[in-house]
């Protein structure tokens, strides 16, 4: 699922691909190995790590919870991508044909996007 998410920023896309390749290589990926990959792209350091409140970015997290939270975050991000595409389409339809139904669809998708963002923020803020 993570591999199929569109990433518009090329450097972030390369980082994602590198992390996925490392994860699926079969080799153990310890914290130092992960830090090496991330630091090559400037994604580590006190400032970067301090902004990520997800359990899967913290050293002291329960591994089961970290895996569960990571899976939930990927699912939320994937769903948000789908909602964003649907919202773009609904907005275009609304521009062409301003009807109550088109407006309701756009508003429903805006609310869905907001809900997904809230879920991701809650996931990042949990202990």
pLDDT digits over 69-105, tens only?
Answer: 888 888 888 888 899 999 999 999 999 999 999 999 9
CA distance 125 to 15: 24
- Return the closest-CA partner of residue 121 out of 73, 75, 62, 57: 73
- Return the closest-CA partner of residue 81 out of 112, 106, 51: 112
Positive or negative torsion for Cα 72, 83, 2, 44: negative
pLDDT value of position 102? 93
Estimate the crossing angle of helix 10-23 against helix 31-40, to 10 degrees.
160
CB 112 within 8 A of CB 83: yes
pLDDT in tens, 30-71: 666 666 666 665 554 444 444 457 777 777 888 888 888 888
Bin 26: left if φ > 0, else alpha if -120 < ψ < 50, else beta.
left
């Amino acid at each position: 699922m993570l591999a199929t998410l569109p990433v518009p920023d090329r450097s972030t896309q390369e980082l994602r691909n590198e992390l996925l390749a490392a994860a699926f290589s079969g080799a153990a990926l310890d914290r130092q190995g992960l830090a090496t990959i991330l630091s090559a792209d400037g994604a580590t350091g006190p400032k970067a790590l301090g902004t990520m409140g997800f359990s899967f970015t913290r050293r002291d997290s329960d591994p089961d919870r970290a895996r569960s939270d990571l899976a939930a975050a990927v699912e939320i991000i994937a769903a948000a991508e789908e909602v964003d595409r649907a919202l773009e389409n609904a907005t275009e339809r609304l521009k062409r044909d301003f009807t109550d139904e088109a407006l309701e669809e756009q508003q429903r998708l805006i609310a869905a996007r907001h809900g997904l963002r809230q879920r991701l923020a809650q996931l990042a803020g949990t202990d």
